[in-house]
Amino acid sequence: MVEPGRLAGKVAVVTGGASGIGRAICETFGTEGATVHVLDIDGNAAEGVVDTMRRSAAPAGGGLSATAHGCDVSDPDDVERTFRTILDHEPVDILVNNAGIAHIGTVETTTPEEIDRLYRVNVRGVYLCTRAVMGGMRERGSGVVLNMASVAASGGVAERFAYSMTKGAVLAMTYQVARDYAKHGVRCVSISPARIHTPFVDGYLAEHYPGREAEMFDTLSATQPIGRMGTPSEVAYLALYLCSDEAGFATGTDYPLDGGFLRLNG
């Protein structure tokens, strides 16, 4: 069992926080005492997450502290507006760059427009949000940036050319930010999940394999040597550790959470 309050007094921003891994991170951080800002392009969905969190019991009693923000992380003006709203009230101690989109295709079947679309969200979005908080973290001499990368960045996944490329860029940004800001007391790390069972997976299977969802779910699960997909909560608990003071020696490192995908396949 994890003792509550590991993020007590911390302010965390989580992008893509309205569903899947992002939602699990928001709820876990809130339960552990953080004030959580839930950012998502779907502002109504972000409000729904916040409503649920506020009805939950916090470690010291009462509802969790959370605020929803509709934000398109690929839009510089939207990011500036959102983070200014947050920073005008309180400093940000933790940024989780979780927002991202996927794509299926090889280098031949991926169009320039699709490359640009994934770059805007998966790469520029991480850059814009990190840039928005870094000045304050540097001045205070503390802070954590956690990026959500992917096993696709290190090992490659069939027909995920654009996605793998953008997640490789996320890894490079993780290493570079960690190097540039370690001397200022700011840590930067990343998590590389394999397949995680989220609503996105269910929607993908329903769209591409109607009537064969269960069969294809088992096939995708089997690509992890452990024999199943991960859960959003498993990612959230690793995120909790990496963003807590307990991980104060961790920076400039990627943490695969992949059921053996990278090291045990083949």
Active-site annotation, residues: 163
Residue-range definition of the domain harbouring residue 202 = 195-229
Same domain, 166 and 187: yes
Which parts of the chain have pLDDT scores under 70? 1-4, 57-63, 266
Query: Rounded to 5 degrees, what angle do the CA atoms 227, 229, 232 make?
Result: 150
Residue 170: other Cβ atoms inside 10 A: 23
Q: Measured between alpha carbons, how far is 250 from 188 in angstroms, rounded to an integer? A: 8
In a domain, 266, yes or no: no
- How far is the C-alpha of 76 from the C-alpha of 226, rounded, in Å? 40
| 35, 66 Cβ separation under 8 angstroms | yes
What predicted TM-score, i.e. pTM, was given to this entire model?
0.94
Same domain, 150 and 218: no
CA distances from 229 to 75, 218, 240, 251 (A): 32, 9, 20, 27
Same domain, 35 and 166: yes
pLDDT at 207: 87
Q: How much is the pLDDT for 4?
A: 58
Q: Please report the pLDDT score of residue 2 as a whole number.
A: 46
Residues 135 and 215 in one domain: no
